[in-house]
Amino acid sequence: MRVYNTLSGRKEELVTLEPQKVRIYACGPTTYNYIHLGNARPLVVFDTLRRYLAFRGYKVTYVQNFTDVDDKIINRSQEESEEALKLAERYINEYFKDADALNILRADVHPRASQHIEDMIVAIGKLIDKGFAYEVDGDVFYRVKAFQDYGKLSGRSVEDMLSGARVEVDERKEEPVDFALWKAAKPGEPFWDSPWGKGRPGWHIECSVMSTKYLGETIDIHGGGSDLIFPHHENEIAQAEALTGKPFVKYWMHNGFITINSEKMSKSLGNFFLLREVLDKFPADVVRFYLIATHYRSPLDFDDGKLDEARKALGRLKTTLMLADEFQQDRASTDVELKEPGELLEKVNDLQQEFIAAMDDDFNTARAIGHLFEISHLINSYLAKASRDNAQDQAVLTKAVAVLKELGQVLGIFIDQESDQGAELEEVLQILAGLRQAARQEKDYPLADDIRNFLGSLDISIEDTPAATRFRYESAPELKLLMEKLIDLRANFKSQKRYEKADYIRNSLQEAGIIVEDTREGVRWKIAEA
């Protein structure tokens, strides 16, 4: 297994500190707002990395922090007149809602900066004692020139940074490139007591301290977005290695940016989309699929069209699983021993190995997903000629589908998204189907076509069978959209004085537990209380 190490600038064989054990630290969010789509990418990337390493037999210890002490949090708290730590706690809770939706596994430890202030004070004191830091008027700065390897991660030299430095406002620093380890308290800001007076830690020291506390002085993998290489990760190295005298991280991994019109998505630039805004438009599994369908180191340009492509692509995989499930609902036997693997399973097993080879090559999810589609195609072809009553066919499909599901779960893309309104959704679809069927019988083909086209616009296909009308869709449609259509149809029927049709809609909805009310403000609907 090879990974691209930002520190060396090349792919390297992954050799962990302990055989079949891996310690990973991933930089988490600064909790002053909801996370945006750009924030979500590293979360999904390193969650996928974690899942794959576990799949390959590694015992993974995964730590992801929360920065809940920071200038941005303080500024936001002052804007909203809310205590900084309470504001940060609120956004941590909101983070978990978004992360859970994306099927991101909880870290083994989620340390918060505010809970490790004493550890940071101890670390800063040691840096001062070792000559790597100095105190000025209650502030403590890291002495960059004292650390000979500064710049080794980002490829920058201290001399170049000094020669290109802007006029530094804070003339108390020995050098413009020196950075804050401890900041003296300002009026209205949260603070903690320290040997240098009341204040709070700088951003960079937080991750160095929390990482070493939970994972040890040297860790296997440290991950984050490319924007963190400098100065954050560079400063982490300087702090940690000055403290321990040991290498801080073996493998540095960084994901590429999400861009909009080729410009990095960020809150500071104001060109960002909150993750939950995107989740309002697209299902969570589609968003996750979109985020890993491109190699993690490559930039990913955002637009709705690409998310729509992701929705359709993932839908093809989910359709395969759905068709296989339908095929096996009335299986001849639930436990049949295969006489021989057969051609399908041999090909599926080969593709499973190619999936592993792709992921072993610097976690190439893009290529790995391509192999999932090949497996899906093989299963679809087998379904077309297999017999429900043939126990061997059932057994072969069971094993082939199990491989597809397992590899999909490695990527975290098969998210169970049972709708809270699932029963109502199906009922509403059946009402629309009934209206369409009646229109066809009455030779009202414009209405029948209108309903079919509407459902098609939501990527809902209709399959008419002798037994019933079936619906197929890649992701559950919004009940709201279906209801708006039914309300429009009811209004049209009433205007045409086709009251029996209007009453049919109202009565059918009532039977489905949905109440329609005509008010002065317009038609309203609600799900009846149980």
Residue 340, pLDDT score: 66
- Please state, in angstroms and as integers, the Cα–Cα distance from residue 456 to each residue in 135, 451, 486, following that order: 67, 8, 15
Q: For residue range 104-161, list pLDDT tens digits in order.
A: 999 999 999 999 999 999 999 999 999 999 999 999 999 999 999 999 999 999 988 8
More confident residue, 121 or 331: 121
More confident residue, 345 or 327: 345
Q: Which domains does the chain have, with CATH numbers?
A: 16-124+206-292 (3.40.50.620), 303-411 (1.20.120.640), 422-527 (no CATH)
Strand partners, 183: 200
Residue 462, pLDDT score: 78
More confident residue, 323 or 250: 250
Confidence of residue 323 (pLDDT cuts 50, 70, 90): confident
- Please state, in angstroms and as integers, the Cα–Cα distance from residue 431 to each residue in 414, 428, 475, following that order: 29, 5, 19
- Give me the chain's average pLDDT, please: 90
List, in sequence order, every beta strand (DSSP E) within 247-343. 249-255, 258-260, 263-264, 300-301
Residue 241, token pair as written in the block: 């290695």
Q: For residue range 355-376, list pLDDT tens digits in order.
A: 999 999 999 999 999 999 999 9
Asked if 25 contacts 222 with a C-beta cutoff of 8 angstroms, the reply is yes
Q: For residue range 69-103, list pLDDT tens digits in order.
A: 999 999 999 999 999 999 999 999 999 999 999 99
Peptide bond into 299 cis (omega under 30): no
Confidence of residue 167 (pLDDT cuts 50, 70, 90): very low
> Average pLDDT of 291-296?
98
Distance CA 187, CA 317 (A): 57
More confident residue, 232 or 264: 232
Residue 420, pLDDT score: 46
Three-state secondary-structure class, residue 522: strand
> Average pLDDT of 342-359?
96
Question: Is the model's pLDDT at 409 over the cut of 80?
Answer: yes
Proportion of the chain in helix, strand, coil states, percent, rounded to 5: 50, 15, 30
Helices (H), 113-152: 117-129
- Please state, in angstroms and as integers, the Cα–Cα distance from residue 294 to each residue in 41, 99, 261, following that order: 11, 20, 17
Residue 419, pLDDT score: 44
Which segment of 83-97, 176-190, 403-417, 514-528 scores lowest on mean pLDDT? 514-528
Residue 303, pLDDT score: 85
Distance CA 260, CA 104 (A): 24
Distance CA 465, CA 454 (A): 20
Distance CA 303, CA 300 (A): 10
What DSSP assignment string belongs to 365-402?
A: HHHHHHHHHHHHHHHHHHHHH--TT-HHHHHHHHHHHH
Report how far Cα 241 is from the mean position of its chain's Cα atoms: 32
> Average pLDDT of 271-286?
87
